[in-house]
Structure 1
Amino acid sequence: MAKLSIIVPVYNAEKYIVNSLSSCVTQMHKDIELIVVNDGSKDNSLTLIHTFFAKEIASGLMKIIDQNNQGVSIARNNGIKVAKGEYVAFFDADDILLDQYITQITQVIDNHAPDIIEFGFCKFKELADISTDKGIFVNNEFGLQKTSDVLENVYARSVWYPWLRVFARRFVEQDMFPRGVRFCEDLMAISQLYNRTQNIYIIDKALYGYRDNVEGATFNVRTDYFDNLVTFYNSLPAINAKYLDYLKMNISYILYRCSTGKKISAEIRKEFRGLFLKYLFDKRISYRKKVILLSPKLYESLKYVKGLK
């Protein structure tokens, strides 16, 4: 059994794929497996992978899954199905793994065996930018923590990138990511996973390079994302928990972004207004999100006001 399985969904990534996979391959050893899931790419991504990484494929360090285009959720799920690692990590095909990624993570696995491992990341547009980036962290406390102690902070920050964490294999189900969902699938999957874990180890080092890519789904919101988000919102448990309120408030902002004329039900709008009043003075929630909770129309009229973020 491998110690760590790294799953890389690939769709039309020919511009970056060689550099991205190289950043992983140069750190790999026999206890690591790299699972590349080609999600029906129409460009030269798959050809480049076979050309530049033939040695790693032949040795079994890199596995290739070639499937028809089904979206990133199913691509990741199919990677999980063949993963042999004690831990599972995710890696996007236009990003890079920074130096010490594998070394730092395997050391934590060996020394602490936590349910989740988290680390910092750097944003970049060009590789040269990384050296000037100080790194971004979800949590300010490092080392081994109880999940319950960081839960509210994680939900308030609402940074759900799958590649920002490594998960013990026993917590990663074969259908971890919701099928047919192509936007906020990470929020839907990982926010649920946190409630099933006991501890998390937070590494005080940026280990991942996130390419600030305007072509990504984050910047190209479609109207059909709205219904999936409403369905997920309605599926949340009816319990009084602060972390869950934080999740709902962050979903309200995402719903606003992708509503494009669609209306949120009166029942949900009422709940949003109640959350606005309840968390009016909570510094963890931005002014922008608070105003959207109260009224998206009001936000539109005030969005250029100084200090509204």
Structure 2
Amino acid sequence: MVEACVSVVIPVYNAANTIEATLNSVFAQDTDRIQIIVVDDGSSDNSYEMVSKYSEKGLRGKTIVIARQENRGVSAARNKGIGMAKGEYLFFLDSDDLLEPDCLSELCKEAESSNSEVVMCGFDEVAEDGTVLTSFGQHYRFPDKGADGKRLLQLLLKKSTKIWTSSAIYSKSLIDRSRVSFTEGAKFGEDQEFILKAVFNARKTSCVERTLSHYVIRENSSMRRKGLSHFHYVGSMLRVQNYLAKHKCSKKILSLVRKSKIPEAYMDVFALLARGRDNQQLLRILLRHRVIRRQISDTSILVDPRIWLKSVLLLHAPKIVYSFWQKTS
């Protein structure tokens, strides 16, 4: 058996309607140097049975490992997958997203040739029928190859580029050395928290300047549901700030997190809540919360003018902002 270049970790929870297409996109990869790790997170549908059938098929030289656990959340499932990984690199794939056939081979090739610990690619947001909703190039650019993690982290925080859950591979030695893992219990933002921490610790990064991954936007996605659990995203960004401060990160990067990333997280959550009209009273209560107001107002026009303007409007003219968010729901 050829040693695996990359271990693909796929958490599964009640994904019977999507997991087959996702797994097919992995089996269609043009390299055999893949270990596929599927962690069923206590599904109550027939997801586990569907995945199990793949172990009986011709795997085209690839290996598949299937594990089960009680429902503990996506972070616990991914962490379990990390512990089972045998590949030199890790790749995290959600159970409803898709890859181009040469995604993993191109990422591995670039990682091996450049000796990089993180290698990213472009990704498109697509509808369930495959229609491209937002392409990578519409909002982002590829970073320079060879940058260290701290340089790439600055670009991510400035939103000039972006890494999504399934648009990068990470050296297993990087994850082991830095002891980065997914925060268990976090419902939102845990993927970005992991990405930012991992990138910060990378000695060298690179990219493949192509779109190789597809983030499928689904109508019933948990991200589209409105509720207070979305404040977990704010918690994830606060943990990033604390982590970077603990590890003696530069003042410039810490300022980007404190004056842009954390307020932006609040903006995203408040926008979701505002689009549910039943949440109007709740929003007013939250905006009177001193800690929340302080963290939102901690923006800087010099760091992020757009977030600064949104924060000023939210704090001093919330009805205008609510009306805008409701119209753009």
State whether TM-score is above 0.5: yes
- Does 1:263 pair with 2:283? no
* TM-score (structure 2 length as normaliser): 0.79
Shift of 1:64: 0.3
Mapping 1:199-210, distance limit 5 Å:
199-210=204-215
152 and 54 in structure 1: CA distance in 2 versus 1, 3 angstrom threshold: same
SS in 2 for 1:145: coil
Q: Is the 8 A contact 2:7 2:37 kept in 1?
A: yes
Select which of 231, 234, 237 maps to 1:229. Answer: 234
Q: What RMSD over aligned residues (CA atoms) do the two structures have, in Å?
A: 3.2
Partner deviation per Cα, 1:2-29 (whole Å, 9 max, x = no partner): 2110100111111111111011112164
**2:174 aligned partner, one-letter code:** F
Stretch deviating more after TM superposition (73-82 or 118-127): 118-127
Q: Which amino acid aligns with 2:256?
A: Y
Contact 1:139 1:153 in 2 (8 A): no
Q: Hey, what's the Cα distance between the residues in 2 that align with 1:45 and 1:87? A: 26
Percentage of identical aligned residues: 20
CA distance in 1, matches of 2:261, 2:100: 30
Tell me what 1:168 maps to. 171
Counterpart of 2:70 (choices 68, 71, 80) is 68
| SS of structure 1 residue aligned to 2:228 | coil
Write the mapping of 1:105-116 to structure 2, written as runs, cut at 5 A: 105-116=107-118
Query: Which one scores higher on RCO, CA 8 angstroms, separation ≥ 6?
Result: 1
Which residue of structure 1 aligns with residue 154 of structure 2? 152
Instruction: Decide whether aligned partners of structure 1 residues 110 and 214 sit closer, same or farther in structure 2, where only a CA change above 3 A counts.
Output: same
The one of 314, 317, 322 equivalent to 1:295 is 314
Deviates more, 1:230-239 or 1:90-99: 230-239
Equivalent residue runs for 1:1-309 within 5 Å? 1-27=3-29, 29-55=31-57, 61-129=63-131, 134-136=135-137, 138-157=140-159, 159=162, 161-173=164-176, 176-226=181-231, 229-230=234-235, 233=238, 236-237=241-242, 240-241=251-252, 242-244=255-257, 245-257=259-271, 261=282, 263=286, 265-275=289-299, 278-279=300-301, 286=306, 290-292=309-311, 294-296=313-315, 298-302=317-321
Please give the alpha-carbon distance, in whole angstroms, between the structure 2 residues aligned to 1:40 and 1:99: 29
Letter in 2 for 1:246: S
Q: How many residue pairs are counted as aligned between the two chains?
A: 302
Q: CA 1:218–1:156 in structure 2 vs 1: closer, same or farther (change >3 Å)?
A: farther
Change (3 A) 1:296 1:76: farther
Structure 2 SS opposite 1:144:
coil
**Kept after mapping to 1: 8 A contact 2:271/2:322:** no
Which runs of 5 or more structure 2 residues have no equivalent in the other structure?
274-278
For 2:233 and 2:127, locate their aligned partners in 1 and report how far apart those are by CA, in whole Å: 30
Structure 1 residues 66 and 293, CA, compared in 2 at 3 Å: closer, same or farther? Answer: farther
Residue 34 of structure 1 aligns with an amino acid whose one-letter code is: I
SS, match of residue 5 in structure 1: strand
Preserved CA contact (<8 Å) 1:118 1:202: yes
CA contact (8 A) 1:122 1:209 kept: yes
Which residue identity is paired with 2:251?
N
The residue matched to 1:206 in structure 2 has which SS?
A: strand
Contact in 2 for aligned 1:115/1:197 (Cα 8 Å): yes
